[in-house]
């Protein structure tokens, strides 16, 4: 690991000013992803700004939304009474992520910003446009079993690893950000980017910006929800495919639906067209399979991940069946 300076911030604006002025600086909270990247030499910040003492860990009502501070721990959010009552889909997604030890360290903001687990990104001997722009994408012709089937480019086919983010995009969350130019809000769906020609840019955050909280609006999706995660082992594994689903039912009729997939794209993949297909339909397997067909439009597999073309719709159907039966 390279040497670095360490700064402990006690006020958000002070932390922002340090990072905004120094392009080699980075925020650190739980460090569950950043420290690993630093150990491997994938990221080499020359200054770390510790934000753990900032007052950003509350979980509280704000108008018609539940506001979750960026420094709230994943385990705390998953076990919070308000989250479990009003947004159980978020609790399920968090409980499916990582391990108990990591959830006790990882923060909400850090979870959003964790970087891909693509093996070529972590291997300094391999080409990776995300790690070093212009060097190529080793995964394109390499072992790409874990990689994207939606929204990829010839520059990068990596996927976003967060379970929590799949639930948040389905729940129409909003990200609160503070930066050198003031505060702003981003729809969660706009936080992460597709790779395009700039795969090194994971998000639409501006230099020096700090995520301070996420707002989850009130909704009728508090009962018929499920997070389906398909992985290679039962715990502490990233998703091959995951599905976050929420239904608003009137008897057996679907009034509204929220659907998203994980493990399939460079960002959490919202399925707006499939949601519309379900509205007004009976909550049956036939309806769910029609929605899954729509959800898979535009999917493209690579040499080793063609199985995802079947796994993703099947996971979505299973999640919908489980949610409907809740």
**Model confidence pLDDT, tens digit, residues 25-50:** 999 999 999 999 999 999 999 999 99
Give the pLDDT of residue 217.
Answer: 98
The average confidence (pLDDT) of the chain is 97
What are 161's two structure tokens? 């690893």
- Give the pLDDT band of residue 303 (cuts 50, 70, 90): very high
What are 66's two structure tokens? 């539940």
- The pLDDT tens digits of the residues spanning 146-190 come to 999 999 999 999 999 999 999 999 999 999 999 999 999 999 999
* Res. 120: pLDDT tops 90: yes
What are 76's two structure tokens? 């705390």
What are 164's two structure tokens? 């929590």
Query: Which CATH number is 224-325 given?
Result: 3.30.390.50
pTM over 0.95: yes
Residues spanned by CATH 3.30.390.50 within the chain?
Answer: 224-325
204 close to 190: Cβ distance less than 8 angstroms: yes
- Give the pLDDT band of residue 204 (cuts 50, 70, 90): very high
CA distance 36 to 121: 12
Give the pLDDT of residue 301.
Answer: 98
- Give the pLDDT band of residue 2 (cuts 50, 70, 90): confident
Tell me the mean pLDDT in the region 244-267: 98
Of the chain, the percentage scoring pLDDT greater than 90 comes to: 98
Residues spanned by CATH 3.30.43.10 within the chain?
Answer: 5-52
148 close to 159: Cβ distance less than 8 angstroms: yes
* Res. 78: pLDDT tops 80: yes
β-partners of residue 7 are 49
- Give the pLDDT band of residue 238 (cuts 50, 70, 90): very high
- Give the pLDDT band of residue 88 (cuts 50, 70, 90): very high
Q: Which CATH number fits domain 5-52: 3.40.50.300, 2.40.128.20, 3.30.43.10, 3.40.605.10?
A: 3.30.43.10
Give the pLDDT of residue 244.
Answer: 98
Long-range CB pairs of 184-192, under 8 A, 24+ apart, other chains included:
185/215, 188/214, 188/268, 189/268, 189/270, 191/112, 191/267, 192/160, 192/165, 192/266, 192/267, 192/268
23-49: burial string, b at 16+ Cβ within 10 Å, e else:
eebbbbbbbbbbeebbeeebbebebbb
Q: What is the strand order of the sheet 224-230 is part of?
A: 224-230, 241-250, 253-262, 269-270
Say how far residue 201 (Cα) sits from the centre of its chain. Answer: 15
CA distance 100 to 27: 23
* Res. 227: pLDDT tops 80: yes
* Res. 1: pLDDT tops 80: no
* Res. 260: pLDDT tops 80: yes
């Amino acid at each position: 690991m390279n040497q670095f300076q360490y700064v402990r911030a006690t006020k958000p604006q002070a932390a922002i000013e340090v990072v905004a002025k120094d392009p080699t600086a980075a925020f650190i909270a739980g460090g569950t992803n950043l420290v690993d990247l630093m150990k491997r030499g994938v990221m080499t910040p020359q200054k770390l700004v510790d934000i753990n003492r900032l007052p950003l860990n509350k979980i509280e009502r704000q108008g018609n939304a539940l506001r979750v501070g960026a420094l709230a721990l994943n385990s705390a959010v998953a076990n919070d009474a308000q989250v479990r009552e009003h947004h159980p889909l978020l609790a399920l997604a968090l409980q499916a992520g990582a391990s108990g030890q990591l959830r006790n360290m990882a923060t909400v903001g850090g979870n959003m910003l964790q970087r891909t687990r693509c093996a070529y990104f972590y291997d300094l001997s391999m080409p990776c446009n995300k790690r070093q722009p212009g060097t190529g994408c080793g995964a394109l012709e390499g072992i790409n079993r874990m990689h994207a089937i939606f929204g990829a480019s010839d520059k990068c086919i990596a996927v976003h690893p967060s379970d929590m983010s799949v639930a948040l995009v389905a729940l129409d969350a909003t990200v609160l950000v503070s930066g050198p130019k003031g505060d702003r809000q981003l729809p969660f769906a706009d936080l992460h980017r597709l790779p395009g020609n700039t795969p090194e840019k994971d998000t639409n955050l501006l230099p020096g910006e700090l995520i301070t909280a996420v707002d989850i609006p009130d909704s009728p999706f508090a009962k018929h929800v499920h997070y389906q995660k398909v992985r290679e082992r039962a715990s502490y594994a990233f998703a091959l495919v995951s599905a976050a689903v929420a239904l608003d039912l009137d008897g057996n009729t679907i009034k509204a639906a929220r659907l998203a997939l994980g493990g399939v794209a460079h960002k959490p993949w919202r399925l707006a067209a499939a949601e519309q297909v379900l509205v007004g339909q009976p909550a049956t397997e036939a309806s769910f399979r029609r929605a899954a067909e729509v959800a898979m439009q535009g999917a493209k597999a690579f040499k080793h991940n063609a199985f995802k073309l079947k796994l993703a719709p099947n996971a979505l159907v299973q999640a919908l069946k489980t949610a409907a039966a809740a």
